[in-house]
Structure 1
Amino acid sequence: MRFAPGGSGDSTLAAYDAFSVTSCDDVTATAEGLDEPGRTLYASAGAACSAAFRDRPDLWAQAEDGLRRLESADPADFECFDDDARAMLAALVRIHHQSPGTRIVTAPEDSTAPTTCPRITAVEPDHGSLAGGETVVVTGVNLQEAESVDFGVTSVAAVPGPGGTTATVVTPAGDDPGWIDVSVSGYSWASIGAYEYREPSVTAAGSGSPVPEGG
């Protein structure tokens, strides 16, 4: 169930995305095309979603059974977003057990669900020379084990800061001016920031003012 562009991981991520926004029918439909243990995870998640948010209490038994079966699954078969889905599934089942019949409401649209995935939320500064070699700080969550960061298709070493909320990198040279994606290596689907490469500036003779090279 490891993510691979164009592979089964795409469907697994689609199932997670649907679950995170309580698109219950989409979770269930996507789960049917997954291999185990993804099928069990997202079929159970779809059942819990429908039971909690679509007035289908008859599906709690399926959700609980799936959660029990997942206890024997190999953790190595799950990506970080699968761990998040499993935690959400367990939380829904726990609420149901503690307060049967309680109406569960979804979070506000602008809220952010907790995640175990490394995620970049900002790059500071967010622009620099096309020549590269500039120190920037990426900010986000779960960056404590980020060994490298991708600027487009180029990876550079990262030095995580305390608390897992920042990492320092030195930008690689860019190919062309413009914006590129910035992500934790291996997690481009879960962690995207942006950085703008700009033409190097030179000082116009006698003006003391920098102008774009060739201007």
Structure 2
Amino acid sequence: MVAWILGLAPGGGVDLPEEIAYQNLQHDCILTPQDGSDDPYYTALSAQERRLYEGAAAACRAAFYDEPDQWPVAEAALAQIDAVGADFTCLGDVAYEVLRELVAVHTTDPTARLVRGDGPGRGPACPRVISLEPDHGAASGGYRIHLVGEHLPSTSVIHFGDVDLTVQTDGDSASLIVPPAPVDAEWSAGEHSVQVWVEGWYMQVFNTPTFVYELEPRPRPSPGTVADPTASPGG
């Protein structure tokens, strides 16, 4: 019994080329592309990514759909990948693990009958920034904010707009010093926004939090005070 791969976690759904390849593999072991190499999503993948997803889909079809003629395709893909070195995104790492495991089982026992497991599957452990606290501040920078994420490497490179910051994390949070706003920032109503993401997040600027620089920082309530929503202005 082989644990199958999970669907994409919240944050997916941008329809990037590799995301589509991963979803095709996860749902129906579809060989990528479905209708030939002219598929624009297929041609946007690197040669190594195409080899990976074609190989993983072939192994899946051979193992679970009674298509034994696909085993040589899967084995050749794995050999070519290993000859160069497996260096993939968090999505590709899962596809590679599936390809390697299925080929290994078949090599050990070519007559083995494989079935997909019904239990918890394996999902991509993609490093991701989820939120910033606070998510706005003065254009001068130099102050500390809190970052919340998931699957963050202990030493992470955070892309704060065009500035790269190296920070230490506990896996799901970190603190960092906000850099100054870019000198060429384009301001709208006194604000300039930048995207913040972690190195290794396969979508880069998509589905990542935004930090807003302010020419005039928003007033913050004094500690221990609570605004009275029923009070009239000036009294």
- Shorter-chain TM range is 0.5 to 0.7
Q: Distance in 2 between matches of 1:49 and 1:128?
A: 43
- TM-score normalized by the length of structure 2: 0.58
Structure 2 unaligned blocks of 5 or more: 1-15, 38-42, 182-186
Structure 1 unaligned blocks of 5 or more: 1-9
Q: Does the aligned pair in 2 maintain the 1:146–1:160 contact within 8 Å? A: yes
Q: Distance in 1 between matches of 2:162 and 2:93?
A: 28
Q: Distance in 2 between matches of 1:47 and 1:186?
A: 27
Taking only the aligned residue pairs, the percentage that are identical comes to 22
Q: Distance in 2 between matches of 1:184 and 1:17?
A: 23
1:62 to partner: Cα distance: 1.7
Residue in 2 that maps onto 1:45: 56
Residue in 2 that maps onto 1:7: none
1:90 to partner: Cα distance: 0.7
1:202 to partner: Cα distance: 5.2
Q: Within 5 Å, give how 1:103-182 maps onto structure 2.
A: 103-105=115-117, 113-115=123-125, 117=126, 119-120=127-128, 122-123=130-131, 125=133, 127-131=134-138, 133-150=143-160, 153-155=161-163, 157-162=165-170, 164-171=171-178, 182=196
Residue in 1 that maps onto 2:98: 88
SS at match of 1:94: helix
Give the helix-richer structure, 1 or 2.
1
Flag the structure with larger Rg.
2
How many pairs does the alignment contain? 191
- TM-score normalized by the length of structure 1: 0.63
Alpha-carbon distance change, 202 to 85 in structure 1, aligned in 2, over 3 angstroms? closer
SS at match of 1:72: helix
Alpha-carbon distance change, 24 to 203 in structure 1, aligned in 2, over 3 angstroms? closer
1:160 to partner: Cα distance: 1.5
Q: Distance in 1 between matches of 2:169 and 2:94?
A: 24
1:136 to partner: Cα distance: 0.7
Q: Does the aligned pair in 1 maintain the 2:91–2:124 contact within 8 Å? A: no
Deviations 1:163-202 (A, max 9, x none): x444322345786779975311463516844357597125
Q: Distance in 1 between matches of 2:28 and 2:129?
A: 25
1:59 to partner: Cα distance: 1.5
Q: Does the aligned pair in 2 maintain the 1:148–1:185 contact within 8 Å? A: yes
Deviates more, 1:177-186 or 1:59-68: 177-186
SS at match of 1:22: helix
Tell me the amino acid that sits aligned with residue 218 of structure 2: P
Q: Distance in 1 between matches of 2:119 and 2:22?
A: 16
Alpha-carbon distance change, 65 to 136 in structure 1, aligned in 2, over 3 angstroms? same
Residue in 2 that maps onto 1:3: none
Residue in 2 that maps onto 1:5: none
Residue in 2 that maps onto 1:6: none
Among 94, 108, 114, the alignment partner of 1:102 is 114
Among 184, 188, 191, the alignment partner of 2:198 is 184
Q: Distance in 1 between matches of 2:63 and 2:31?
A: 15
Q: Does the aligned pair in 2 maintain the 1:44–1:67 contact within 8 Å? A: yes
Alpha-carbon distance change, 124 to 30 in structure 1, aligned in 2, over 3 angstroms? farther
Q: Distance in 2 between matches of 1:138 and 1:37?
A: 32
Alpha-carbon distance change, 53 to 183 in structure 1, aligned in 2, over 3 angstroms? farther
Q: Distance in 1 between matches of 2:132 and 2:197?
A: 14
